[in-house]
Amino acid sequence: MKKESIKAKTPSLHMADDTIVITPDLLHVDHVAEIVGAPSAGAISLFVGTTRDNFEGKTVVRLEYEAYMPMARSEMRKICKQVREKWEVMKIAIFHRIGVVPIGEASVIIAVSSAHRKNSLEAVQYCIDTLKATVPIWKKEVYEQGEPNWKENSECFWTKKGGPSKQSTV
């Protein structure tokens, strides 16, 4: 009986513990880490993706991100749900910046807390790998010289590189 009542409570608690933000504002690692903090957590694992200043020898002057907002959010929510099916984690926060992101700043920050480090470490890796494969966000690199370029993630699930039949569209 006791076990069941705890189980029944879990889903709603977990829903409230997922934070998804897509914003043109500067991302702060401290802020995202704070969101997933919990007294019973023994670990907070973080991934910070930052914008690089070069691509194949070309100097990148800035990056521009755009998102299909409602769908990007719903795909991120799916990732949180999948994480909770695979690992015991406490809180998940996924922040993605859009608009112009100057070189060296964070374009994405993912934080996951858990009682023990293994779960949150694996969950963070899963979050960023899946985000790159399924979340409709695009990045344009603008170079010092030459035409700007829309990038393609190697993880993108429907391009030839990604192997369209290997991954589901879930």
Distance of closest approach, residue 42 Cβ to another protein, in angstroms? 27
Rounded CA-CA distance 93/46 in Å is 9
Rounded CA-CA distance 11/5 in Å is 12
Distance of closest approach, residue 8 Cβ to another protein, in angstroms? 29
Binding site members: 116-117, 132, 139-141
Name which of 89 and 137 has its Cβ closer to another protein.
Answer: 137
Contacting positions for another protein (CB under 8 A): 49, 65-68, 70-72, 74, 96, 107-108, 128, 131-140, 150-153, 156, 158-160, 169
Binding site members for substrate: 116-117, 132, 139-141
Name which of 34 and 152 has its Cβ closer to another protein.
Answer: 152
Distance of closest approach, residue 156 Cβ to another protein, in angstroms? 5
- CA neighbor of 37 nearest in space, from 90, 80, 76: 90
Name which of 58 and 140 has its Cβ closer to another protein.
Answer: 140
Name which of 38 and 71 has its Cβ closer to another protein.
Answer: 71
Distance of closest approach, residue 22 Cβ to another protein, in angstroms? 10
DSSP state of 27: P
As separate numbers, helices (DSSP H) first and strands (DSSP E) second, the chain gives 4, 9
69-86 and 117-134 are packed helices; what angle lies between their axes, rounded to 10 degrees? 150
Cα–Cα distances in Å, from 115 out to 12, 51, 66, 88?
A: 19, 31, 35, 8
